[in-house]
Structure 1
Amino acid sequence: MAKGSIEQRGENSWRLTVDLGLFPDGKRNRPRKAITVEDKKILRSTRRLNEYLDDQLALFKQEVLSGEYIKPDKMIFSQYINLWKKKYAELHLAASTRDAYYNHIRNHIEPRFGNKKMTDIKTLHIVDFIADLKKLDARKDGKGKLSDRTVQYIYAVMQNLFTVAVKWELIKNNPLEKTDRPKAKKVKAKFYESEEVTKIINALYKEPIHWRLMMLTAIIGGLRRAELVALRWSHVEFNHKQIFVEKSIPLKRKGVNYEKGTKNDDERYVDMPNWLMEEFNDFRKEWLKQREATGDKWKGEENEYVFHAGYGTPFYYTHPTAWWKMFTERHKFSYYSLHKLRHTSVTVLIEKGASIKSIQERVGHKQTQTTTDIYAHVTKKLSREVANLFDELDPAKENSVPNPSPIKI
């Protein structure tokens, strides 16, 4: 029977070895595989760690003996992609991120590198690939050029793929290590100005109450679309006048809503104004009457989604976006995506004097860049308004200031 051994190589990395004896030429036949343990719960417990490593060694033995194991120097990129999907992407990436990664791998990355050996992919191959992505006909649908942001995203996917390959000791060096991240033109943050926000809120009072409350929660609370769809009554804390944000429904798979934590796992409490919480309270009473009238047709079980598509099931995740677009067209407002209501919320808070830190915590911005981009635009506008206050002192205007006395020498 094949023997196996485990050797620690780094702080949280180990090498698994299966000893198959000798090749016909007398050389040792010892397939090896590197693994990294990132789960802190496993690393904290010696017993758990040893059990985990033993399990991994047993799986590796099975892989070797069944003929599924491929030596790193023989592995081609397509084989690695299948391994990466199974042992990394499915375990560590959120479903929406995973889908986006798979899409770029399928459309751009694998067609280029699929048949190459992992060890043969060099820095210059990556440089040429990025240059080709920037060409005018790079889109697979024949509609011309890829956006700068898309090229950046594909580069990020490549970075992930080869970083993991280095960790697993399939290759010695990451071929992207000495390349420059593609640049993208800075996109101006889009949002509604405070004057238009007032008009939008007034128009929302001509709409059904559930849509009105959903959009007001986006504007005032800065919730993401997926967070609005996943909002339950248990998250609405009437006593503290807060909404607890902990869940999101970013997509649907095979007819089933995919519910998970928030985008950045940023569970947060969002304080709401008294008048809005009173409206939620009124809506709650109406919601309970509707549920009772539904009877056996109720499909929401005990989830109690605040905003549902009928019979208790949450809205299809793109439905609020479609409604918002129709609303802006119906009332002749500028159309910005539903997500821009988060940016609008930030704008209003900045104009009212809220600090950057408190805004970030409220809306769950992990990166400061989004908040500061909006802050820069708003402060420029406020600076202009302050400067305009001095227009009345223009000496060219009559009665602006008294004529100064002539200077005597």
Structure 2
Amino acid sequence: MAGRGSIEKRGKDSYRLIVSLGFDQNGKRIKKQKTVKAKNKTEANKLLAAFMTEIEAGEYIDPSKIKFGHFVEEWREKYAKEHLSPTTLDTYNGHLRTRILPSFGHMRIDEIKTLHIIDFMEFLKKEPLKGNGKEGYLSSATIHYIQRVLNNIFSRAVEWEVIKQNPVSKVKKPKITQKETDVYDEEEVFNLLMALKKEEQRWRVLITLAVLTGMRKGELLGLEWEAVDLSAGTIHVKQNLVYANGEQIVKETKTKHSQRLISLPPEIIPELKAFKKEWNKNRLFMAELWEGGDHNFVFTAYHGKPLHQHSIKNWWSRFIKRHGLRYIRFHDLRHTSATLLLNKGENVKVISSRLGHANVLTTLNIYSHTLRKADELAANHFSAFFKNEKEDEKKA
């Protein structure tokens, strides 16, 4: 048997499970213990029985001997899968796999101190970007996110009384520096739209909407015909399509601000009507082979399933090269949309609403460089006053 067990009340819905295993050769009592959440004493006793079985089977690991990598597995099963969204967990796992576990996975969790975390954060600042011939270093936003992952894991370790203090809590958060966005100017947008005329209708509409609306890639992929009002000339953004663990997931937009109604310029409506007509023809032609299910995605493969995000990325890269256009990311078409409106003097609040930002400050922070240029142009408007003044002096 595993020994004798007992429980101690620790606080509201909290109990300490204790299993006594006799004495060691020096006469010191041997015991295993851990704190659990339980609604009442009866539930706590059930957990104690399971704890004793775990010890007897040799599956229990003393918290003082837990490796960080092993604790991460416990964190995934007992916290992350239930409390994090699939996309967030997918992102967390990516950072764990590529950077965090290679650095801390082999260490005992109670041996990881604040200085270890500080050294790790400094190391990240000097780590070059990986893959696809990328140049430069990790962004401050990425480093901040990695710190957030660590903080979440160590917070659970404290909460479950595996360790006494969170080594991340005293580490200063990195200051996030907003990168200057890479966008097309008016002439490049004109050339882009001209090049699209030679492309398949599906791609032509997709890219055009990206520029005209500033919608995110996931919002475009998750767009259904029911959300497109061709009579009113609007798109109701209310969901997006995300990918996690190789699966496509349709979910509501991240925040209530992301749910919005975007007005379309009237010039795009005939193109959308023609595209919908062809979409309906294909839907009828595919009949029982249609795989769209209950969804009527605007942008699909031939069988009705939504386009994959990698399909868009690959097509965009080939398209850019084929037409000799300057390369920017597909996501930068969203920034291009906002920048064009800012340069035209559109109200920042209106632009913020079209983009689905939580508040105007978010828009101001992202497009501060563009606003600075607009401010310089605004200052030049006053030059006319001084020119007139000099001309009057000459006449006098």
Q: TM-score, normalising length from structure 1?
A: 0.79
> Which residue of 1 is the match for residue 314 of structure 2?
322
2:72 to 81, 98, 119: 81
1:95 to 86, 96, 105: 86
Provide, for residues 58-90 of structure 1, a one-character-per-residue CA deviation record: whole Å limited to 9, x for no partner: 457524522344343333312211111112222
| Matches for 1:6-405 after TM superposition, within 5 Å | 7-9=10-12, 14-20=13-19, 23-24=22-23, 29=31, 31-34=33-36, 50=39, 58=46, 61-67=49-55, 68-135=59-126, 146-149=137-140, 150-183=142-175, 186-238=178-230, 240-251=232-243, 253-254=245-246, 256-264=247-255, 267-273=258-264, 274-366=266-358, 370-389=362-381, 401-404=391-394
8 Å CA contact retained: 2:32, 2:62: no
Give secondary structure in 2 for the equivalent of 1:197.
helix
Give secondary structure in 2 for the equivalent of 1:32.
strand
8 Å CA contact retained: 1:222, 1:362: yes
Structure 1 Cα separation of the partners of residues 260 and 133 of structure 2: 46
8 Å CA contact retained: 2:237, 2:262: no
Identical amino acids, percent of aligned pairs: 31
Give secondary structure in 1 for the equivalent of 2:242.
strand
From the superposition, tell whether residues 366 and 6 of structure 1 become closer, same or farther in structure 2 (CA, over 3 Å).
Answer: farther
Give secondary structure in 1 for the equivalent of 2:63.
coil
Provide, for residues 350-396 of structure 1, a one-character-per-residue CA deviation record: whole Å limited to 9, x for no partner: 3444443443333222476651134423332223333444556676x
The number of equivalent residue pairs is 385
Partner AA of 2:81 in structure 1? E
Structure 1 Cα separation of the partners of residues 130 and 325 of structure 2: 32
Give secondary structure in 2 for the equivalent of 1:318.
helix
From the superposition, tell whether residues 22 and 387 of structure 1 become closer, same or farther in structure 2 (CA, over 3 Å).
Answer: closer
From the superposition, tell whether residues 115 and 200 of structure 1 become closer, same or farther in structure 2 (CA, over 3 Å).
Answer: closer
From the superposition, tell whether residues 393 and 120 of structure 1 become closer, same or farther in structure 2 (CA, over 3 Å).
Answer: same
Structure 2 Cα separation of the partners of residues 310 and 138 of structure 1: 36
What is the CA distance between 1:307 and its match in structure 2?
A: 0.7
> Which residue of 2 is the match for residue 42 of structure 1?
none
Provide, for residues 130-178 of structure 1, a one-character-per-residue CA deviation record: whole Å limited to 9, x for no partner: 3333446897999997424444433232222222322333222221222
From the superposition, tell whether residues 177 and 338 of structure 1 become closer, same or farther in structure 2 (CA, over 3 Å).
Answer: same
Give secondary structure in 2 for the equivalent of 1:306.
coil
What is the CA distance between 1:113 and its match in structure 2?
A: 2.3
Structure 2 Cα separation of the partners of residues 235 and 144 of structure 1: 40
Q: TM-score, normalising length from structure 2?
A: 0.81
Superposed CA RMSD in Å reads 3.7
Partner AA of 2:76 in structure 1? K
Structure 1 Cα separation of the partners of residues 194 and 357 of structure 2: 28
Partner AA of 1:242 in structure 2? T
Any unmatched runs of 5+ in structure 1? Answer: 36-48
What is the CA distance between 1:244 and its match in structure 2?
A: 2.6
8 Å CA contact retained: 2:258, 2:357: no
Provide, for residues 282-301 of structure 1, a one-character-per-residue CA deviation record: whole Å limited to 9, x for no partner: 32222111111123322223
From the superposition, tell whether residues 248 and 56 of structure 1 become closer, same or farther in structure 2 (CA, over 3 Å).
Answer: farther
From the superposition, tell whether residues 203 and 369 of structure 1 become closer, same or farther in structure 2 (CA, over 3 Å).
Answer: farther
Give secondary structure in 1 for the equivalent of 2:392.
coil
Any unmatched runs of 5+ in structure 2? Answer: none
Structure 2 Cα separation of the partners of residues 195 and 400 of structure 1: 35
From the superposition, tell whether residues 139 and 199 of structure 1 become closer, same or farther in structure 2 (CA, over 3 Å).
Answer: closer
Provide, for residues 99-126 of structure 1, a one-character-per-residue CA deviation record: whole Å limited to 9, x for no partner: 3322332333223322333222211222
Q: For structure 1, which segment, 240-249 or 82-91, has the greater mean C-alpha deviation from structure 2 after superposition?
A: 240-249
Give secondary structure in 1 for the equivalent of 2:309.
coil
Structure 2 Cα separation of the partners of residues 394 and 351 of structure 1: 24
Structure 1 Cα separation of the partners of residues 286 and 44 of structure 2: 51
Q: For structure 1, which segment, 303-312 or 287-296, has the greater mean C-alpha deviation from structure 2 after superposition?
A: 287-296
From the superposition, tell whether residues 353 and 159 of structure 1 become closer, same or farther in structure 2 (CA, over 3 Å).
Answer: same
From the superposition, tell whether residues 116 and 376 of structure 1 become closer, same or farther in structure 2 (CA, over 3 Å).
Answer: closer
What is the CA distance between 1:310 and its match in structure 2?
A: 0.7
> Which residue of 2 is the match for residue 44 of structure 1?
none
Partner AA of 1:80 in structure 2? F
Structure 1 Cα separation of the partners of residues 329 and 128 of structure 2: 27
